[in-house]
Amino acid sequence: MSFASVRDRAAIAAVALLLAAPATAATYTDTTFDTSDYVLTSYAGAGVATTLTQTSSGNPGTALQGTYAASGANAAGALFTALNTTFVYDPTVSGAITSLSASLDRYFDPSVDGLPSNVGSYSLRILAEQDGALYQSIFVFGPFNMPGGGWYTLSQAGILASDFKLFDPNDFGAAGTQTGLDYAGSAITFGFAMRASGAVDGNGAPVELASAGDLRADNFSIGIVSAGVPEPSTWALVIGGFALAGGALRRRRMQPILRHGS
C-alpha cells in the first residue's frame, strides 16, 4: 500500500470520526445557594405572606428557604422561583441542546391549623429563561402520604424542549399551555421553583383553615447534552480531510483500466 493511500484512508477516517463524534456535556451544580447568584421571586395568593432567603439548615450546609403563611381558603398557595445567573448556556456558542437532566433536593414541612400535614407529593420544577420569556418543566413524584420534614432527592433525565411550558405569573399554580423554548436558539438561564398548594382537603379542594409551610431546596444540578461546536482546529482538519478524500477519489478515476483477453 502506498503512502498516498494510507494518507487518504487516514483523512477519510478523520472526517468520519468527526461526523460520528459523541455529544458533549456541560454540568452545573450549586450546593451553597448564595442569594446573590439568583434572581428570586415569590408568587402568592391574596392574604398569603412569604419569605425567601438563604438558610443554614440544608442537606447539608446552606440551602434556599421559602416560607408561607395563609389563612382561609387558598388553593393557589405560594410559588418560589430561583433563576441562577452564574450558569448561562448559549446553544449558538456551545452547540444545540439535545436533552437535559436535572436534580434537586427538596424539603417540605407543612402544617394546617398548627398541626403537621401530609406532604402528598413533591414536584421537580425546572425553569428556563430565554429572550425574556420564562418557561417551566414539571415532574411530580409521589404521593408519599407521610408527614413532611424530610429531604428527598428528585431527579429527571431526558428533558426535552417540548417539556417546557410558558410560565404565567397570573396563574402560577398551572403547568402552562404552550411552549416556545428553543434548544438551538439564544442563551438560556436555568433555575428551579418550589410550590406549596396551601390548605386543601384530600381531593385538593381549598378548605377554610390556616396553613403554613417551610420549603427548602439544596444541591441543584443541571446537566446538558449537546451536539457541540467544533473548534477552529477541528474544522481545519475536516476541510483538509475532505480535500484529501477528494484527491483520493480523483486519483482512482485516473488509474488505467487493464483488460485481460481470453
pLDDT 10s digits, 161-205: 999 999 999 989 888 889 999 999 999 999 999 998 777 776 767
Cβ atoms within 10 A of the Cβ of 37, count?
15
pTM to 2 decimal places: 0.79
Amino acid at 47: G
216-240 confidence digits (pLDDT tens): 999 999 999 998 755 444 445 445 5
Instruction: Measure the CA–CA gap between 154 and 164, rounded to whole angstroms.
Output: 17
pLDDT band at 91 (very low <50, low <70, confident <90, very high): very high
Q: Kindly state whether residues 108 and 152 are assigned to the same domain.
A: yes
Q: What is the pLDDT of residue 207?
A: 79
Indicate whether 216 belongs to any domain. yes
| Distance of alpha carbon 195 from alpha carbon 215, whole angstroms | 8
Same domain as 144, residue 42: yes
Residues 163 and 246 in one domain: no
Q: Which domain does 251 fall in, by range?
A: 1-22+228-255
Each residue's pLDDT tens digit, 129-163: 999 999 999 999 987 777 788 899 999 999 999 99
In a shared domain, residues 146 and 208: yes
| 18 and 70 inside one domain | no
Looking at 4-13, 105-114, 130-139, which range is the least confident one? 4-13
- Give the number of domains in the chain: 2
For residue 90, give the C-alpha cell.
Answer: 448559549
Q: Is residue 261 part of a domain?
A: no
Q: Is 53 contained in some domain?
A: yes
Which residues are within 8 A (CB) of 101 and not within 5 positions of it... i.e. 6 or more apart?
155, 156, 157, 158, 159, 221, 222, 223, 225
Are 132 and 17 in a shared domain? no
**What's the mean pLDDT in 61-74?**
90
Q: Which amino acid is at 219?
A: N
Task: Verify that 111 and 186 share a domain, yes or no.
Answer: yes
Element (H, E) at 215: strand 211-226
Answer whether residue 260 is part of any domain.
Answer: no
